[in-house]
């Protein structure tokens, strides 16, 4: 069964600091990987996704993530965070086989608090 | 705007009462899902549907029922609410899965409190 681990449950940063949120998954086959963001009081929104090709994926609002297959990781990064990045971030994975239903597994989330 | 609409946004129920949460999407998505979100537990899949007229159990289906009579609607029912069902419920939809997946579009959530 696939699983997702997010190592940091609560991160506090000052504005302009660099961000890296860890995500590791366990699944032996081809995977699709996602990062979602949930701003306070709002629903989850897709931040970026990886299906194939360039392992460095760029998303909205200056976020990027790197897929490292050998490490089963898909860490989220941003060079300089802003107060508006305060939110909860969820990593998710599903098997990459085409056709049919493939379960998406979410991590438990990382709460990011950016201090002005 | 196109997207996923959930109703109601808030609800308080007494133990034993029943209710139905409605999810509607206008993106012609085949797949629809109901998740619950609890602190420290992330998102857990309750039920899902891979097309009109189909439903299937997720990770935590007990105490819930669903129906997908129309492609655009996915209903989540609680027959006899329990305090353990106090949670935030999110509906999501997607165009496809696997190599054709484009990620999920989520609704704004329903905050349910069972007293």
Task: Determine the pLDDT at residue B41.
Answer: 86
Interface of B with A (CB under 8 A): 31, 40-43, 45, 48, 50, 56, 90, 92, 97-109
Tens digits of per-residue pLDDT, B4-32? 999 999 999 999 999 999 999 999 998 99
Interface mutation target, options A5, A60, A104, chain B, most CBs of B under 10 Å: A104
CA dist A83 and A101 (Å) reads 38
- Whether residue A103 has pLDDT greater than 80: no
Minimal CA–CA distance to B42: which of A101, A91, A41?
A91
Give the minimum alpha-carbon distance from B15 to chain A in angstroms, rounded to a whole number: 26
Sign of CA dihedral A43, B52, B60, B95: negative
Task: Determine the pLDDT at residue B98.
Answer: 47
Cross-chain Cβ contact A43/B90 below 8 Å: yes
Q: What is the percentage of chain A residues whose pLDDT exceeds 90?
A: 72
Chain B residue closest in CA terms to A10: B40
CA dist B60 and B75 (Å) reads 16
Tens digits of per-residue pLDDT, A11-61? 999 999 999 999 999 987 788 899 999 999 888 999 999 988 899 999 999
Tens digits of per-residue pLDDT, B30-82? 899 999 999 888 899 999 998 999 999 998 999 999 999 999 999 999 999 99
By DSSP bridging, strand B4-7 and strand B19-25 are antiparallel
Interface mutation target, options A1, A87, A93, A106, chain B, most CBs of B under 10 Å: A106
Task: Determine the pLDDT at residue B95.
Answer: 82
Task: Determine the pLDDT at residue B99.
Answer: 44
Task: Determine the pLDDT at residue A31.
Answer: 84
SS3 sequence of A19-88: EEECCEEECCCCEEEEEEEECCCCCEEEEEEECCCCCEEECHHHCEEEEEHHHCEEEEEECCCCHHHCEE
Contact between residue B89 and residue B34 where contact means Cβ atoms under 8 Å apart: yes
Q: Omega into A112 within 30° of 0, i.e. cis?
A: no
């Amino acid at each position: 069964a696939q699983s997702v681990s997010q190592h940091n449950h609560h991160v506090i940063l000052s504005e302009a600091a660099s961000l890296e949120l860890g995500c590791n998954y366990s699944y032996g086959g081809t995977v699709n990987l996602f990062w979602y963001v949930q701003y306070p009081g709002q629903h989850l929104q897709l931040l970026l996704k990886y299906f194939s090709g360039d392992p460095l994926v760029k998303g909205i609002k200056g976020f990027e993530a790197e897929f490292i297959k050998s490490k089963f990781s898909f860490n989220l990064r941003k060079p300089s965070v802003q107060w508006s990045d305060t939110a909860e971030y969820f990593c998710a994975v599903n098997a990459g086989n085409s056709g049919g239903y493939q379960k998406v597994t979410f991590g438990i989330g990382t709460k990011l608090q950016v201090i002005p | 705007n196109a997207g996923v609409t959930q109703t109601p946004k808030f609800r308080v129920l007494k133990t034993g009462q029943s209710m139905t949460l409605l999810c509607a999407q206008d993106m012609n998505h085949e797949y629809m899902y109901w998740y619950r979100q609890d602190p420290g537990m992330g998102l857990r899949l309750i039920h899902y549907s891979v097309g009109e007229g189909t439903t299937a159990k997720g990770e935590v289906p007990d105490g819930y029922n669903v129906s997908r009579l129309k492609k655009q609607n996915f209903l989540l029912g609680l027959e006899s609410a329990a305090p353990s069902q106090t949670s935030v419920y999110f509906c999501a939809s997607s165009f496809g899965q696997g190599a054709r997946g484009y990620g999920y579009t989520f609704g704004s959530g329903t905050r349910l409190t069972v007293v």
